[in-house]
Amino acid sequence: MTPANDHNLAAAPGLSQALWMKGEVERFESAFRQGPQSRTPMPVWTWEQLERQLVSLASGPEMASVTPELVSAVRKQARWLPPEMALREILCAAFAVMDGDFSPPSPEAGSIV
């Protein structure tokens, strides 16, 4: 990338993030190509129900308190992701929330989103 392009990306952090996400989606789709599937739909649930369940599964009060931000971040990204990749992000969030050894960054370190 040329320095001029670096300057343009610095001026537009949203563009840089969008390009990064596009690359992540392409890598995911390459790794998990669509194969034969029954296409059985999943039950319908809401983001609020997901958040409520993750809070109830949290490893402790500290993780329960950051769960809404974590769900919000996944929800915001989900509309740009293939459904299976959004599912993967939800599963990763659930693992982090339930991991007793994981601790969220301190408020001094900035937002987790």
Residue 48 to residues 52, 53, 54, 55, 67, Cα–Cα distance (Å): 6, 9, 10, 11, 11
How many C-beta atoms surround the C-beta of residue 66 within 10 A? 19
Q: What distance in Å separates the CA atoms of residue 93 and residue 89, rounded to the nearest whole number?
A: 6
pTM for the full predicted model: 0.70
Report pLDDT digits (tens) over 21-62.
889 989 988 898 876 667 788 899 999 999 999 999 999 999
Percentage of the chain lying above the pLDDT 70 cut: 78
pLDDT computed for residue 2 by the predictor: 42
pLDDT computed for residue 69 by the predictor: 96
- Contact call for residues 102 and 94 (beta carbons, < 8 A): no
Chain CA centroid to CA 74, Å: 4
Single out the residue of 109, 69, 111 nearest to residue 93, CA to CA.
69
> What does the buried/exposed string (b/e) look like for 75-97 if buried means 16 or more CB atoms within 10 Å of the residue's CB?
beebeebeeebbeebbeebbebb
Chain CA centroid to CA 69, Å: 11
